[in-house]
Structure 1
Amino acid sequence: MKQALLELMRMSRICRMVLATCLGSFVLVIFYFQSMFQPVMRRNPFAADVCCPKGSRNALQELYNPTQSEFTGAAFLHQTRRDQVAETCRAHSASSRKRRVLTPADLKHLVVDEEHEMIYCYVPKVACTNWKRVMMVLTGRGRYSDPMEIPSNEAHVPANLKTLNQYSIPEINHRLKSFLKFLFVREPFERLVSAYRNKFTLKYNGSFHKRFGTKIVRRYRRNATQEALQSGTDVKFQEFAEYLTDPATVREAPLNEHWETVYSLCHPCHIHYDLVGKYETLEEDANYVLRLAGVGDYLRFPTYAKSTRTTDQMTAEFFHNISSQQQRQLYQLYKMDFLMFNYSTPSYLKMQ
């Protein structure tokens, strides 16, 4: 009996050592307690350890338990959007949860605002320049007051904003649990055409012409001129579509952030986003976020009408010139974004 007890104690010590080793090598699980595959949070989500340092309500608390009547309707709308994301993740769980562990490198698009306890995942071609300007005002400790006075190139300087991947793992998990997390999305093909027009049809984007344009011309254009091969300045949308749907491009993953899916940039099946704003209701949704943060009285989201903005009609014209096979392939590539954010299949697609 004594020998058996000693053996049991020895095995217990071994188990503890193995467990400690495993925990020591653990990278980062951002599959935190509010996984997207559990029922969406409808009750008060705050445990006793979640509070505001200043003793006031933070944006996350105001979203789920609004004290102002004007927030009630918006809270219901964003609950519906959260439900849509959760249902899509559950319905496609086999593919959406292939990676359950995210590393800090996966969090480089999540901008952190410590003062107002918010995290914003930026998506290129979804008003991200203006959102970065706003985040610079919010986190700048008085250095900036008007977002539109910040030059666009300065808004994209990495050092001007702190991202979640710059924190330690315990700090990351704490912020994912207690900060309001939001992102803005756009109709996937409209965003795709906007990225093409900006990066391949404007002369000032020489870096994209050299890096991607020359590669696309070389791969997909027969009898390309030497000038086109060297400059890559005249990539056609059909060639861009062929590049995106080419298995070779898939093997070279990831895609450039300007045409990567929101699903891959922000990981919405692993990170529970509290608020999903839409480009189609940009001003309303953006200013709702600012009101939740308590800054709506002195900070408004910048709006201005751009005559060059990519529209649905313009997108349809671009897609009219590519084959039905490429259309189907592009839809499959962006399918999760369509489903997750409740965008219907475009009527102009030739899906048969």
Structure 2
Amino acid sequence: MPDGICHLFGILYSGHLLFPKYVPTRCFYQAAQENLKVICHSPPEKAQLSSAVMRRNPFVVDGCCRKGSRNALQELYNPTQPELSGAAVLHQARRDQVVDACRVYSASSRKRRVLTPGDLKHLVVDEDHELIYCYVPKVACTNWKRVMMVLTGRGKYSDPMEIPSNEAHVPSNLKTLNQYSIAEINHRLKNYLKFLFVREPFERLVSAYRNKFTLKYNSSFHKRFGTRIVRRYRKNATQEALLNGADVKFKEFAEYLVDPATQRDGPLNEHWQTVYQLCHPCHIHYDMVGKYETLEEDANYVLRLVGVGESLRFPSYAKSTRTTDAMTAQFFSNISTQQQIQLYQLYKLDFLMFNYSIPSYLRLD
């Protein structure tokens, strides 16, 4: 992480967490009675890790998921395993890309970001292995939640794929960062390895559309969002469509996303919300950014950093059913140039932060 640039967490003020844009070194703010105390330290790759990071929290469960002798942050920034050294260079480049994009955005934006505890509900905490994972729907988050349940289950689970998918999404099965006190949040953000996984923004968007609006079993999404979309954007809609919302077209979904009225309704649903809004990478420094395009390689890299790579592997996924670039291009060919431009503007930060090129099929002129 370059000197003089950092992501912060956070100032407690009138019940809110206030994040300045950027300051030198990494600083963490804590509420000490009525005064604010500031604790600053150098980036981990430039300084020795704190004593809190150095302490081990042994975790032994029948040979599975025993924590390694080194903290994951140590292994990331100062790898001792030869096979991890090459990957460290790649992930430094990904971190730099996020920092550069955030710097540009910060310079062009006049808004001062205020986060509430609810903004941290996507950050899953594993205290035993000192991990924080920000889950992004439609980026293998079901399998990552399964893995986190194995890591935090203390022997309850050993095989991620034995955990039913609906069980992985039960909120009480995993602890999220918003459930801690401000001091505890700061401690974990400072000392735990923080990671997230991202995906080409439009592939993720089309994947969400296919899953939530074209499959019959997702009737709750049809009722909640489909009926609203049909009512707003379909002329001469049938009574059945107005009642069930089960046949939303991608063009209608796109119109819903770019409509200013949708923004006024409140935050987008997590399945099509931007990664920028879900995980706040311009305010929280993520040590590792994994990509869906290299999912198994990056996921198993995280598990090796933690020291459980020999006993736990990330589940393979069904490539035959995944949304592809060609499939995404086909969906985008059915919407107007104006809608394409508006969708790109909506997801532009995700493209820039995670180094995704403008798709060749996009008509931006």
Question: Normalization by structure 2: what TM-score?
Answer: 0.86
| Closer/same/farther in 2, CA of residues 25 and 318 from structure 1, 3 Å limit | closer
Instruction: Tell me the residue number matched to 1:271.
Output: 284
- The answer for the alignment partner of 2:49 in structure 1 is 46
Matching of residue 113 in structure 1 with residue 126 in structure 2: yes
**Is residue 2:17 matched to residue 1:28?**
yes
* Partner secondary structure for residue 116 of structure 1: coil
CA deviation vs aligned residue, 1:227-274 (integer Å, no higher than 9, x gap)? 000000000000000000001011112000000000000000000000
CA pair 257-327 structure 1, distance change in 2 beyond 3 A: same
Q: Which amino acid aligns with 1:331?
A: Y
Q: 1:24 to 1:280 in 2, by over 3 A?
A: closer
- Does structure 1 conserve the Cα–Cα contact (< 8 Å) formed by 2:57 and 2:129? no
Q: Distance in 1 between matches of 2:12 and 2:106?
A: 26
Q: Which amino acid is the alignment partner of residue 50 of structure 1?
A: V
Residue 216 (structure 1) aligns with: 229
User: Deviation at 1:51?
Assistant: 2.0
**Is 2:139 aligned against 1:136?**
no
What is the rounded CA distance, in whole Å, between the counterparts of 1:225 and 1:23 in structure 2? 51
Aligned counterparts of 2:104 and 2:42: Cα–Cα separation in 1: 13
2:330 to 317, 334, 347: 317
Identify if the C-alpha distance between structure 1 residues 347 and 272 changes in structure 2 by more than 3 Å, giving closer, same or farther: same
Counterpart of 1:182 in 2: which secondary structure?
Answer: strand
Is residue 99 of structure 2 the alignment partner of residue 86 of structure 1?
yes
What is the Cα deviation at residue 206 of structure 1?
0.5
For residues 209 and 24 of structure 1, what CA distance do their matches in structure 2 show? Answer: 39
Deviation at 1:94, TM superposition (A): 4.1
CA deviation after TM superposition for structure 1 residue 69, in Å: 1.1
Is 1:226 matched with 2:215? no
Q: Secondary structure at the match of 2:124?
A: strand
**Structure 1 residue 343 displacement after superposition:** 0.1
Distance 2:178 2:110 in 1: 21
Count residues in correspondence. Answer: 329
Higher strand share: 2
The structural deviation recorded for 1:103 is: 2.1
**CA gap 1:27/1:220 in 2 versus in 1, 3 angstroms:** closer
Q: Map of 1:234-253 to 2, 5 A cutoff?
A: 234-253=247-266
- Quick check: 1:199–1:209 contact (8 Å CA) kept in 2? yes
CA contact (8 A) 1:107 1:163 kept: yes
Asked if structure 1 preserves the Cα contact closer than 8 Å seen for 2:160 and 2:315, the reply is: yes
Give the partner amino acid of 1:125.
K
Which of 75, 87, 90 is matched with 2:88 structurally?
A: 75
Q: TM-score, normalised by structure 1?
A: 0.89
User: Does the aligned pair in 1 maintain the 2:91–2:288 contact within 8 Å?
Assistant: yes
CA separation in 2, counterparts of 1:257 and 1:219? 21
Q: Percent identity?
A: 78
For 1:162 and 1:274, how far apart are their aligned partners in 2?
20
* Residue identity matched to 1:127: A
Q: Which residue of the partner structure matches residue 78 of structure 2?
A: 65
Partner secondary structure for residue 112 of structure 1: strand
Query: In structure 1, what residue type is equivalent to 2:17?
Result: L
SS of alignment partner, residue 277 of structure 1: strand
Query: Is residue 2:351 matched to residue 1:349?
Result: no
Which residue of 1 is the match for residue 31 of structure 2?
none
Show CA shifts across 1:140-163 (max 9, x none): 000000000000000000000000
Is the 8 Å Cα contact of residues 40 and 82 (structure 1) preserved in structure 2?
Answer: no
Amino acid aligned to 2:257: L
Secondary structure of the equivalent of 2:216? Answer: coil
The aligned residue for residue 5 of structure 2 is none
The 5-angstrom pairing of residues 95-244 of structure 1 reads: 98-244=111-257
Residue number among 312, 318, 324 corresponding to 1:299 in the alignment: 312
Superposed CA RMSD in Å reads 2.1
Please say if residues 263 and 337 of structure 1, whose CA atoms lie closer than 8 Å, have aligned partners that are also in contact.
yes
Greater helix share, structure number: 1
Name structure 2 gaps, 5 residues minimum: 1-10, 28-40, 59-68
The whole-number CA distance in structure 2 between the counterparts of 1:41 and 1:259 is 33
Q: Distance in 1 between matches of 2:347 and 2:89?
A: 27
